[in-house]
Structure 1
Amino acid sequence: MKTLYQRAQEVAQEHYRKTRDYAFKSLSVSFRNVVLTNKLPEPSYEDTRPQSFYREEMIALMNLLHDEEIKNLKAQYEKEVQDDTEV
């Protein structure tokens, strides 16, 4: 199971993949990887932000994911309780 921080990083990276900045960097990385033997990694959202801003964004994303997870668990619990009372 992934940690909240890992999930926040994935969400940020997914949103970054939809930007023009990512498209241009990814294109240049792809061209370089055709020529180079040491392959370059995928452009990372983390590299586009100063460290302090990135940390703040990760904390905000983790809070959102945590709240969403609690909401889903609460809904699931209420559904299970409702199913138990109907039986």
Structure 2
Amino acid sequence: MENNPRMTMEINAARVIQAVTGTKFRISEETEVVDMCQAIDEMMADSREDGMKEGMEKGRIEALSNLLKKERSAFRMPPIAWQCL
């Protein structure tokens, strides 16, 4: 697929696609054409990374929540106090 003209487009056309679709892929200002396969691969990699970060954050929150629930039951905190946490 290297040097395949169907996989590249002019930089202005790529900007139009970004604007219309709301997608975020990298466009180098140093070139006149964009390799759309590479742009999509990079966009997907960025999305995977963002998803992993989000998942890790949710996991930490869930772990802390479970820890607090265990502490609550260990110290028998009244329900009112627990709701304030």
TM value normalised by structure 2: 0.47
Larger Rg: 2
The structure with the largest helix share of the pair is 1
The structure with the largest strand share of the pair is 2
TM value normalised by structure 1: 0.46
Higher relative contact order (CA 8 A, sep 6+): 1
